[in-house]
Structure formats: structure tokens, C-alpha cells
Amino acid sequence: MSKIIVAPSVLGADFGNLQRDVELLNRSEAEWIHIDVMDGVFVPNISFGFPLLHAISKHSKKVNDVHLMIVQPEKYFQQFRDAGAHNITIHYEAVTHLDSAIHQIKKTGARAGVALNPSTPVSVLREIIHLLDLVLIMSVNPGFGGQKFIPYSTRKVREAKELILTSGSSARIEVDGGVGLNNAEELANAGADILVAGNAVFGSADPLKTISDLANVCV
Ligand code: DX5
Ligand code: ZN
């Protein structure tokens, strides 16, 4: 049984006490910190950019997992890497030359991921799955924390797992949006390796325990 990686999303943190919240994550069983960058163009919300990523990296002892919900992300890969990104995930829907963009991410030394919106089928990854370190299944429409999990996402996780197994890819599967203790086990059983959780962690009475419970769901 391989353990689930929990990636708490800082979008759910208290930005006025960011150092405190990152230090809480450092003490937790979370292996990754999920960092959502939104540009107000690809998604109907603006979150933050390089200065905040720099500030998080300064305190983070975890893997900085950066999810770019921006158009033309390829303009900024090196800057995100320099600001402390270990993983860089871009959206299939935001990039025209995906093969090239994945190679550009890898050239910076970061792990490369591709995220799929809920309406995008897993099959679009067939030709590039062998290049990927991460497949991110969006289980809400991207843009906001605290939304309701879209149930058909679990089937997409299963399909991604099948694609990975049949292609011999070493990509791992990450699920993002509306994830919590109520659906973590089902997602882990479907093949998820990494669970992103914002509201479920930072909205809980005991974030450290919630992270631990998520990390130890039975597969
Ligand atoms: C949504 C973001 C998510 C978000 C998850 O666009 O990509 O990472 O922070 O938040 P919760 O877990 O609250 O749905
Ligand atoms: Zn995200």
C-alpha cells in the first residue's frame, strides 16, 4: 500500500498569517504544498504571483506544487522555478503547444504536470502521457476554493490510472477541488496518488489531524 500524498492548498490559508500557516504545514504529514496561481483570464479569479510564491518558499520545507491557472504559462516557467516551484502544472486548455511546453518545464528542472478541466476528457493526454510527471484531475471548475466535488471526477481518475498503466508512464495522479475526508478513500481506490485539499484542511478545527487522516486513508 502506497501512502497518499496530501497537498494542502494555500488558497485556503490565512494570507495575513502566511508564515504561521506554512510552518503548520511543515509540522504536518503533508508532503507537498499546493500553490494556485490565477490570472483572471484563464479563470474568473486572481490569486497571487511571484512575490507570494517567494514568501511561501522562504518558509516551506515541503515540495512546492505550483498549479498555473494562467494563459501563456510558458512565458514564466523559469521565473516560477526561480521563485521556488518544484512541480509546475499547466492546463491543457491554456496551451496550444503542449508537448513543447512540457519539455520547457522539464528544462528548468521542475517536475511537469498537466491539469484537465472537468469537461476535458482524459484521452487528450494519450500522446504525451509518457512525458508527464503529474496528471491533475480538476474535480471542480477551477478558480475558487471551497466548491463542491464533481462526482464524475472519480471515473476520470480511474481512466487516468488505466492510461498510465497501459502506456507504462510513471506519471502520478493528483486530484484538486472539493476533496476531503468524505471522498478521499474513493479517490485513493480509483488511483489517486496526491490529494489537494484547501477548505477541508484550513476550514477544519484540527488541520494537522485532518492532514494525517487524509494521508492515511485506506487504499
Ligand atoms: C481551485 C484550485 C484548488 C483549490 C482547492 O481552482 O485549483 O487548488 O484551492 O480548494 P478546495 O479544496 O477548498 O476545493
Ligand atoms: Zn489547484
User: Tens of pLDDT along 116-146?
Assistant: 999 999 999 999 999 999 999 999 999 999 9
User: Tens of pLDDT along 42-87?
Assistant: 999 999 999 999 999 999 999 999 999 999 999 999 999 999 999 9
What is residue 2's predicted lDDT score, i.e. its pLDDT?
A: 66
> How much is the mean pLDDT over the chain?
97
Is residue 213 among the annotated active site residues? no
* Ligand 1 site, residue 204, Cβ cutoff 6 A: no
Q: What is the residue-wise DSSP string for 113-141? A: EEEE-TTS-GGGGTTTGGG-SEEEEESS-
Yes or no: say if 92 and 124 are a contact pair by the CB < 8 Å rule. Answer: yes
Is residue 36 among the annotated active site residues? yes
- pLDDT higher than 80, residue 5: yes
Stretch 25-49: mean pLDDT: 98
Taking the CA of residue 138 as reference, the ligand 1 atom at the shortest distance is: 7
Q: Say how far apart CA 192 and CA 174 lie, in whole Å.
A: 6
What is residue 3's predicted lDDT score, i.e. its pLDDT?
A: 87
Number of domains in the chain: 1
- Euclidean distance between the first and the last CA atom of the chain, given in angstroms as a whole number: 7
Stretch 137-158: mean pLDDT: 98
Q: Which domain holds residue 122?
A: 5-215
CATH number at residue 28: 3.20.20.70
pTM for this prediction: 0.98
